[in-house]
Amino acid sequence: MGAADVVPGVSGGTIAFIAGILDPLLESIKKINPSLFGVIKEKGIKAAFMHINGPFLLCVFGGILTSIFTLAKLITYLLDTHPIPVWSFFFGLIVISVIHMLKQVKGFTFGRLALFVVGVVFAWGITMLNPIALEMTYLNVFLGGCIAITAMILPGISGSFILLLLGLYTPVIGAVKNFELGIIVTFAAGAAIGILCFSHVLSALLRKFHDATLVFLIGLMLGTLGKIWPWKEVLTFRENSKGEMVPLDERVLSPMQYEQVTGQPSLLLYAVIAMVCGILLVWGLERFANKTR
């Protein structure tokens, strides 16, 4: 999840859903509320820790932080040096995840099809938006943390990409790099409040309207495939935290068009292999989950 969350276009929530931990993650986060103080008062801190499924949350968020400081660096390096195979891997990951989610839907109605279309259009529209430049104030950073964290646990929407659209990705990453404590604490506070509030909403939707919510999430995931497509022509650039110019607005190309427009090899064979690896990873996780069950 941590590695996915730092890549604009890929959602950590999608990875959580693939791994089968999204529901327990939402349920555990939901239990972090004012009633927890009553549990602490009556039964103690240890009981409260177990009440919120503390060991599970430590594993998840410990894994996310570990990935951000280790694997995420490797993935961002590979995106710079071998973008086509890496994007192909994520593309295969999303496609097979959609199939995995469709298996859990118990039928399609007109209303569910409408939700699917809304999800596709909404996600596609977000990927087509031009970034805005919010002023780097504490209020904007706080609100950015609230919005981005909801996207990070929502399958199909990338929290990093939301920060890019808000114009906060570069300054927030720069603040982390330079250890600007005020910005980091403000963003973390916004993220904490955002995830505590949104976990209730998403959990309730999955509990009361499971199939309809899944169909909408499937639409979100399909709507973002254009952002993850491996062969693209860069139209505009943005400046990252290191002062380097990196792609921002891109146009989708076919592998043959990519070779003609850019003059670079399409690496089609490597792309297919990477896509198959992504597909096999999810297929393996699904088989492992079923066997464990």
**Mean pLDDT, the chain, whole residue set:** 80
Among 34-38, 131-135, 199-203, which stretch is predicted with the lowest mean pLDDT? 131-135
What average pLDDT does the segment 122-127 reach?
78
Among 144-153, 207-216, 229-238, 282-291, which stretch is predicted with the lowest mean pLDDT? 282-291
Q: pLDDT category, 271, cuts 50, 70, 90?
A: very high
* Element holding 117 (H helix, E strand): helix 110-128
* Element holding 83 (H helix, E strand): helix 83-102
Is residue 181's pLDDT more than 60?
A: yes
pTM of this prediction exceeds 0.75: no
Query: What ranges do the domains of the chain cover?
Result: 2-292
CB 211 within 8 A of CB 107: yes
C-alpha distances in angstroms, 139 versus 12, 142, 145, 168?
25, 5, 10, 12
CA–CA separation, 273 and 92 (whole Å): 10
Q: How many helices (H) and strands (E) does the chain have?
A: 17, 2
CB 233 within 8 A of CB 250: yes
CB 167 within 8 A of CB 136: no
C-alpha distances in angstroms, 254 versus 88, 99, 251, 270?
13, 23, 10, 15
